[in-house]
Copies of this chain bind each other. A is one copy, B any other.
Amino acid sequence: MRSENEPTGQKSRSFIEDARRAQIVAAAIDVIADVGFAQASLARIARQAGISKGLISYHFAGKEELMTEVVVVTYTAIADHVLAAMQGVESPRELLRTHVLSVATYMRGQRKGLKALGQIFGNLRDADGRPRFGIRTNDEIYRSLENIYRAGQAAGEFRDFDVRVMAVTHSAAVDAMFAYWVEHPEHDLDEHARQLADLLERACVT
């Protein structure tokens, strides 16, 4: 098993172990999305996965490692998607629109993963009670958004505004788009994304 047989690093994980870990992560996402972080006990996750409680402990060092894995998996997937979409786009205005729209298209298939992500971000604390994610990770997002806005200002396409405020607002607006859509499945996500892209674009241009 991983934490016993491979104490040195995250090197070679057997195929079957990878599959189990993925299965457990998927079950965790389902449970967290459905009942919330606080109610997402390992027992419930195990039941969802159709395995024994002990098996989770066998594959993950602890609950925190599982939660971290959920975050990493979900996060990496969305980042890959968005970065791929933005590849080759030059114009700051187009980058802005592409970011909003590609996040929205990705969301469509990842409702639960993103919902779980939000729960973990907002709730997971380390031993001394401080948020495990949130600040640091959000700051990464903020920085990448700021780059878009700064490029637009440098190109003279965007007016002079505080890029951090714009990044915080942009990020929150995208999150809210997702949250609203999750709660109102009949809501038109694509149209929302277009509206939001317009909104942000207008807020930026001179």
Residues of A that sit less than 8 Å from B by CB: 4-5, 34-39, 43, 47, 52, 118-119, 122-123, 125, 129, 131, 134-135, 161-162, 165-166, 168-169, 171-173, 175-177, 180, 183, 191-192, 195-196, 198-200, 202-203
Contacts and interface: CB of A to CB of B under 8 A. Distances in A.
A183 B36 contact: no
Contacts of A34: 129
Given A36-B129, A180-B168, A191 B162 contact: yes
Given A134-B183, A175-B172, A165 B35 contact: no
A4 B43 contact: yes
Nearest to A35: B129
Q: How many copies does the complex hold?
A: 4
A195 B161 contact: yes
Interface of A, helix, strand, loop or mixed by DSSP = helix
Contacts of A39: 125, 129
B125 A122 contact: no
